[in-house]
Structure 1
């Protein structure tokens, strides 16, 4: 759990620094910075997808996972969670720091998905839980902290609250590390990363570059469905 705690601290500190720096940036600079991160995220997603060993499995997993996500209305649930955090933040820190509800929720959802998607979250948490070696998560913490600075300076205080689901997500993986390592194969991780790459591309196009609104949260079940499909194909 040490690595996860470091990750949470890095996100919160990055948000604080970003909010302080954000006052010195004009709107044009903020928008350009977010667009630049969006382009980087898009190409990062493409590089993750290109590591796929069987892109058909990733596609099927994405379709099934998205159908489940829409059925379970995950996007709305996360928006409601973000709204609850925004109300809490407004009461504790005031309206000015919390920002508008829509902007807060966008910051929360974008940061949560960006920080949670990717093989480092899973592999680092497993390594931390099994051996206590949190080097991977320490590196991730540095990257997430830097990204939080930029995000918070442009999107606002909602970035800090992404630390809560990240703590729960990575913490659970660390606690269940023995089972996770026994189940996850290299092929499963490769296809799950490829699916995550597609989701990163969707985040870039939707939340950062504002090209098209995409309900990326509804795709979250695909990160579970895809490895299951890999297992089924290998078994049968």
Structure 2
């Protein structure tokens, strides 16, 4: 069944949110704060692992790093485009609308939880490749694996940041669902170089999410999202970055 992977993923996020909210009732503010920072550390290391795969390579008997110019170009230009479109504020405005429409107006951290969780589970090569595989071949194995990871992430985040995290199922459903429908059009764009660039830049953005979890909101991560699109475009240009 085409689209089953996204359905499984969304269900896992909702279930993780429900269980996280249930567990949070038994945790005081001190425990929730520690759990939030611990989650941030986990997100950092997941991001570092993904970024290192893209940056490091083996040349002879040595490990060398590269793609510095790619990172600088994508993040700098992506930040300018994101600030121009003010994506972060639009994301937060949607979160505020969602908070009021779902009867969670008194939920203090709803918007922060929604934005942070959405960026964490929506960015990455697994979401894109998994949706394409699901749309063309009906193979939902990648998205099923992602669902397990997202379940754990959302469960922990909901414990510390509130029920807004569970509503990250909405952007995941929209993004992955749209990619699944458009899979035949998107697949030719997902060359090995494009996937490598996407994974690298996506991991760096997830790293920024981890920093915000630990130190408070320091980086407007949603305004960096155009960097991912630029990373894919650059893969088709003879720039050697």
Q: Same fold (TM over 0.5)?
A: yes
Equivalent in the alignment of 2:63: none
What residue ranges of structure 2 are gaps of 5+ in the alignment?
56-66
- Which of the numbers 30, 33, 40 marks the counterpart of 2:32? 30
1:204 aligns with 2:201: no
Q: CA RMSD, aligned part only?
A: 1.7
Equivalent in the alignment of 2:22: 20
Matches within 5 A, 1:101-180: 103-180=109-186
- SS state at 1:99 partner: coil
Once the two structures are superposed, residues 60-99 of structure 1 have per-residue CA deviations (whole angstroms, 9 ceiling, x without a partner) of: 0111111100000101100000000000122xxx55xx61
- Which of the numbers 5, 8, 30 marks the counterpart of 1:6? 8
**Bigger helix fraction:** 1
- SS state at 1:214 partner: coil
What residue ranges of structure 1 are gaps of 5+ in the alignment?
none
1:52 aligns with 2:43: no
- Which of the numbers 204, 207, 216 marks the counterpart of 2:221? 216
Q: State TM-score, norm by structure 2.
A: 0.90
Give every structure 1 segment of 4 or more consecutive aligned residues whose post-TM-superposition deviation is greater than 4 Å: none
TM-aligned CA deviation for residue 209 of structure 1:
0.3
- SS state at 2:231 partner: helix
Distance 2:234 2:202 in 1: 15
Q: State TM-score, norm by structure 1.
A: 0.92
TM-aligned CA deviation for residue 52 of structure 1:
2.2
Equivalent in the alignment of 2:99: 86
Give the length in aligned residue pairs. Answer: 228
1:99 aligns with 2:112: no
TM-aligned CA deviation for residue 128 of structure 1:
0.5
TM-aligned CA deviation for residue 234 of structure 1:
6.2
- SS state at 1:133 partner: coil
Equivalent in the alignment of 2:238: 233
Equivalent in the alignment of 2:85: 72
TM-aligned CA deviation for residue 233 of structure 1:
2.3
TM-aligned CA deviation for residue 107 of structure 1:
0.4
TM-aligned CA deviation for residue 212 of structure 1:
5.4
Contact 2:130 2:143 in 1 (8 A): yes
